[in-house]
Amino acid sequence: MTSVIDVFALSKKVEHDSKSGKLSRELLAQGQTLYGKNPDYPDYLERKTPDGKVSLGKWNKGAFDEIISLLC
pLDDT digits (tens, 9 = 90+) for 52-64: 999 999 999 999 9
Q: Would you call 26 helix, strand, or coil by DSSP?
A: helix
**How many domains are there within the chain?**
2
3-state DSSP percent of the chain in helix, strand and coil, to 5: 30, 30, 40
Identify whether residues 27 and 6 lie together within a single domain. yes
Identify whether residues 24 and 7 lie together within a single domain. yes
Q: Which phi and psi angles does 20 have, rounded to 5°?
A: -80, -15
Q: How far apart are CA 34 and CA 28, in angstroms?
A: 7
Identify whether residues 37 and 19 lie together within a single domain. no
Using an 8 Å Cβ cutoff, are 66 and 44 in contact?
no
Identify whether residues 38 and 72 lie together within a single domain. yes
Identify whether residues 27 and 37 lie together within a single domain. no
Residue 14 is part of which domain span? 1-31
Identify whether residues 17 and 45 lie together within a single domain. no
Which residue ranges in the chain fall short of pLDDT 50? none
Read off the pTM.
0.78
